[in-house]
């Protein structure tokens, strides 16, 4: 059977990367996560900015982020979340399709808490340990999505 495809801005996303589906949003694993469990909530409609979402879509994105955050925080043994929308290129947005980063956090993950924003703003290239963050393989992303999907049985149609 042919795998379904989705758009994330100019990028084509395969079904295997999607672990969460609601009426107006999708949860995707990240090609270049800045920390384990760094996932994305995107709108199903391909629009660049938060302001382009209507009330139902914006509400759905926030409720989706809430559900997804609950799961990734626990699964990655974290104790907090950074939920971020870089809303426009000058705010660090590199993919012109509205998305929220859901990033599990724990004590000591970044030397200074707000360094995470520098890392997100580095156009997603460099880790704090200065290792280059390579794009993950499809197989690696699929494994993570397969692990997360069962936690969202009501959100997988």
Catalytic positions, please?
99
Q: Min. distance of Cβ 56 from ligand AMW in angstroms?
A: 23
Q: Min. distance of Cβ 128 from ligand AMW in angstroms?
A: 15
The DSSP result for 44-112, as a single string, is SS--SSGGGS-HHHHHHHHHHHHHHHHHHHHHTT-SEEEEE---SGGGT--SSS-EEEEEEE-TTSSSS
Give CA–CA dist 134/63, Å, rounded: 31
- The alpha-carbon radius of gyration of the chain (Å, integer) is 15
Q: Min. distance of Cβ 11 from ligand AMW in angstroms?
A: 4
State which residue, 86 or 155, has the beta carbon closest to ligand AMW: 86
Q: Are 101 and 83 in contact (CB under 8 A)?
A: yes
Find the distance separating the first CA and the last CA of the chain, reported in whole Å.
16
State which residue, 10 or 154, has the beta carbon closest to ligand AMW: 10
Q: What is the DSSP letter of 126?
A: B
State which residue, 28 or 71, has the beta carbon closest to ligand AMW: 28
Catalog residues that contact ligand AMW under the rule CB under 6 A.
8, 11, 13, 28, 30-32, 40, 86, 92-95, 124
Q: Min. distance of Cβ 127 from ligand AMW in angstroms?
A: 12
State which residue, 34 or 78, has the beta carbon closest to ligand AMW: 34
Q: What is the DSSP letter of 25?
A: E
């Amino acid at each position: 059977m042919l795998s379904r495809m989705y758009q994330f801005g100019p990028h084509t996303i395969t079904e295997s990367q999607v672990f969460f589906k609601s009426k107006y949003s999708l949860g995707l694993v990240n090609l270049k996560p800045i920390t384990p469990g760094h996932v994305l909530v995107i709108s199903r409609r391909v629009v660049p900015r938060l302001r382009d979402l209507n009330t139902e879509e914006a509400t759905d994105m926030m409720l989706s982020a809430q559900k997804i955050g609950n799961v990734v925080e626990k699964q990655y043994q974290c104790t907090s979340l950074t939920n971020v929308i870089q809303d426009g290129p000058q705010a660090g947005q590199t993919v012109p399709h509205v998305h929220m980063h859901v990033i599990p956090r724990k004590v000591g993950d970044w030397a200074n808490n707000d360094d995470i924003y520098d890392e997100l703003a580095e156009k997603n290239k460099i880790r704090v340990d200065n290792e280059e963050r390579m794009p993950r393989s499809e197989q690696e992303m699929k494994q993570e999505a397969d692990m997360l999907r069962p936690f969202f049985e009501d959100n997988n149609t």
